[in-house]
Structure 1
Amino acid sequence: MSINQIVTPLDSAVLETNEQYQVYFKIVTHAFNELVEKIANEKICTPVEASFVMQYGGLLTYSLEAFRVKYLFDADEKMRIDLTESGFPNYLEFRYLFNDLELKQEHINKLPKLESVKAEFLETLLKDKQPIAEHKLHQAASLVYYTSVDQQYIFRRFVQGKILAAKGNEFGAQYMVSWSFYDVTTNRPFICFMYFDLYKEKLEDYKSEIYKVLENTADRDMPIDMMAYAIDKKLEHLHPKKIRKFDLGPLHSVFAKDEIAITHIILKGIVEKTFDLSAYAISVRVDEAISTGAFTEGSFFNKQQLQVWEAKPQKKYLFCSHRVMQSLYDNIPETINSLTQDPIEIRSLKLN
């Protein structure tokens, strides 16, 4: 099966061959690495925020490499890619990966020792002059996967960042906290930042409650002002001042089949051979809500101060190579002109 013959039941694509796995992982890993680097360099976020974007991005690329090793020679299980304005692996794949690694020692015990695998491969290649059988390659890949992949570095549905002292922000907020989540409906990664003050509580005494509310309340995509109000409502002693949400994706590539104009221009260019198979672009949206005041809610004996939220206009960015950028301007200039700024150039990918 060629790379262009991808099985597409409903809203996901199944990667069937080693060639498809190799192309997919090269594209998505390259795109995300480029995105993380450029977000920091383009001052889309503050230097502190950029450092967290790089950390969360590192978890995602680590997980993608784990997927590559896991599925490369697996004849039974196939990885699914979400096609509905995502381009990233389906959320369930991350959950399966995390659960799978909880049983890693049981899997390792069923596999041969690394030394015996190396010896068998050398004998087959050098002495017998024969290629390694597919099932043996899968066995070796499984051994590498279970002995080298660390569960704690896998990108999970919700990843909590530490609370830091906030410096130099326009609201004079005391603290800043970050978190990231993989939304189960859009199958895209999100990164959030919140700047806040504490009232009548010490950070060490209130930290666990903050983490609990964030995981239970802000672990999915929703309007930014709704997220801000939900956090504010559930944390009586926390006064949020600003919340930012970075939506990383979708990834527009040969593996996408959404209705987005940018995706269709890239797919058309690949079909007409004006773009390489590896052509891609990645969209990013940034939502921000700020506190413009406060009001008191509740009865005389149970009052709570809540923030008045103002959602800022959404900022839209696009990252792509120069060649893709030119084609987008030629074909859909109105879409490109609606971005917050001109498309941000990133390096193209050449497949060997």
Structure 2
Amino acid sequence: MSIDHIVTPLDSAQLDSKEHYAFYHEMVEHALKELIESMSTNEICNDLEMVFFKQYCDLLLYSIEAMRIKYMYDEEDNMNIDLADSGFPNYLEFRYLFNDLALRDNYISKLPDLEKIKEEFLDTLLRKKEHVSKQKLFQAASLRYYTTVEQKFIYNRFVQGKIVETPDDINSKYMTSWSFYDVTYNRPFVCFMYFDTGRGNIDNYRNDIYDVLKNSADRHMALDTMAYGIDRKLQDVFPKHIKRIDLGPLHNVFAKDENVMTHTILDGIAKKEIGLESFAFSLKIDEVYSGSEFKEGSYFSKQTLQKWDYVIKQPYVFAPHRIIQLLYDKAPELMNELAKPPFQLSDLVIDKI
């Protein structure tokens, strides 16, 4: 089917056909891979940060591909995309995957054997010269889903990265990263914290750091509030620089919100000025640095805390050339507010799905 024949109701949050699933997955995969390459080329993040950023994006892509396999031939359930300022699957979809895969053995036991399914497919296609029924396609997709998708690679609400030593050109000795899927915004966030420690081996602090990040930095909030909360709860750990990447929205034909960029793209698609496959990626980076230190507490139990500077906010846009032109034409004020001019990505080209 040609991509131009895909009809997407803009007031619907569901993908309800094979074409929708294939198209959506192709778009997200293309956009994320292009984004990663552009961020690396344009040094939006340093080399160490890019290693972990790519890993979190890989988990996200793996999960969306798992959703595609799970739902493509399912006539009862459909995958939900969050339409407002997101463009990504609703967070509950990730939870459904995670919980569903915990019961994989129960589901596999109820499905036909793989060889039996293959024989039935060949018999239907070659001998009977008929199309394979949707029920059989659903059984085959379900078998593939439950036997190949691994629960440990599903993007969870909170994903902790390991603590690593930093290169010599970075002032702080250690860096750790984490990612969370904010349930309010339905968007993934990736965070980095550069820090030093008191005396002793880093292993003495590792578990405490992980616990504090999971309990105090697992959702969107003012970055200086997050920084102060982390700093206050970690004795003898001294955060010096915290960086948060807000991944999205992914503006595309499946979105529906009051965002100026989304509205501009949808309006362009409706007027046939741009294709149905058009997209743009918004990305916001907030950073906060420690300007100095101060001590708080009684004489016998003082704690060294950081005095945080103002939060640095850096909005970026990544999009194909035609979309950048459209945005400059229709929303010049928005373009002027960016930290840097938009970064060009390659077009998404899909002739058939």
TM-score (norm 1): 0.96
Q: Partner residue of 2:151?
A: 151
Q: Cα deviations across residues 263-291 of structure 1 (Å, max 9, x unaligned)?
A: 11110111111111110001000000100
The residue matched to 1:82 in structure 2 has which SS? coil
Q: For the Cα contact (< 8 Å) 2:10–2:255, is it kept in 1?
A: no
Q: Does 1:78 align with 2:106?
A: no
- Residue 4 (structure 1) aligns with: 8
State the 4+ residue runs in structure 1 displaced beyond 6 angstroms.
none
Q: Which position in structure 1 is the counterpart of 2:131?
A: 131
Summarize the Cα distance change of 1:149–1:100 in structure 2 as closer, same or farther, 3 Å threshold. same
1:266 corresponding residue in structure 2: 265
Q: SS of 2:312's equivalent?
A: coil
What residue number does 1:33 align with?
33
Q: Tell me the equivalent position of 1:101.
A: 101
Q: Is residue 246 of structure 1 aligned with residue 245 of structure 2?
A: yes
- Change beyond 3 A, Cα 1:150–1:235: same
**1:11-26 matches, cutoff 5 A:** 13-26=13-26
Structure 1 gap ranges (5+): none
Instruction: Give the SS at the match of 2:304.
Output: strand
Q: Take 2:127 and 2:279, find their aligned partners in 1: how far apart are those partners?
A: 44
Distance 2:169 2:232 in 1: 23
The alpha carbon displacement at 1:6 in A equals 5.0
Post-superposition Cα deviations, 1:105-149, rounded to whole Å, max 9, x if no partner, equal 111111111111011100100011010000110110000101111
Mapped partners of 1:80, 1:66: distance in 2: 14
* One-letter amino acid matched to 2:61: T
Question: Deviation of residue 169 (structure 1)?
Answer: 4.3
Q: Name which structure has the greater RCO, CA cutoff 8 Å, separation 6+.
A: 2
Decide whether the 8 Å contact of 2:11 with 2:256 is kept in 1.
Answer: no
Q: 2:224, 2:231 → 1: CA distance?
A: 10
1:169–1:307 Cα change, 3 Å: farther
TM-score, normalized by length of structure 2? 0.96
CA distance in 2, matches of 1:168, 1:244: 19
The residue that corresponds to 2:232 in the other structure is 233
Report the secondary structure of 2:93's partner residue: helix
Residue 119 of structure 1 corresponds to 119
1:38-73: CA deviation from partner (whole Å, max 9, x where unpaired): 111110010110111111111111111101101100
The CA distance in 1 between the partners of 2:8 and 2:58, in whole Å, is: 29
Alignment map for 1:331-350 (pairs within 5 Å) = 331-350=330-349
The amino acid that maps onto 2:77 is E
AA partner of residue 330 (structure 1): D
8 A contact 1:6–1:16 mirrored in 2: no
Asked if residue 61 in structure 1 is aligned to residue 65 in structure 2, the reply is no
Contact 1:37 1:54 in 2 (8 A): no
1:247 counterpart letter in structure 2: D
Corresponding residue for 2:177?
Answer: 178
Matched-pair identity in %: 50
User: For the Cα contact (< 8 Å) 1:3–1:19, is it kept in 2?
Assistant: no
2: CA distance, partners of 1:128 / 1:17: 26
Question: Residue 198 of structure 2 corresponds to which residue in structure 1?
Answer: 199
CA RMSD, Structure 1 to Structure 2 (Å): 1.3
Q: Which amino acid aligns with 1:125?
A: L
Spell out, residue by residue over 1:172-197, the C-alpha distance to the aligned partner (whole angstroms, 9 max, x if none): 21101011111111000111000101
The question of 1:296 aligning with 2:300 is answered: no
Comparing 278-287 and 266-275, the one that deviates more: 266-275
Cα 1:325–1:157 change in 2 (3 A) is same
One-letter amino acid matched to 1:250:
P
8 Å Cα contact 2:252/2:277 also seen in 1: yes
Q: Distance in 1 between matches of 2:153 and 2:172?
A: 31
How many equivalent residue pairs? 347
Q: C-alpha separation between the residues in 2 aligned to 1:47 and 1:311?
A: 25
- Structure 2 stretches lacking a partner, 5+ long: none
Residue 7 of structure 1 deviates from its aligned partner by 5.0
CA distance in 1, matches of 2:183, 2:122: 44
1:51 aligns with 2:51: yes
Q: C-alpha offsets along residues 225-257 of structure 1, whole Å, 9 cap, x if unaligned?
A: 111111101101100010000000001001111
- Cα deviations across residues 185-238 of structure 1 (Å, max 9, x unaligned)? 100011100010111342112211111111111111111111111110110110
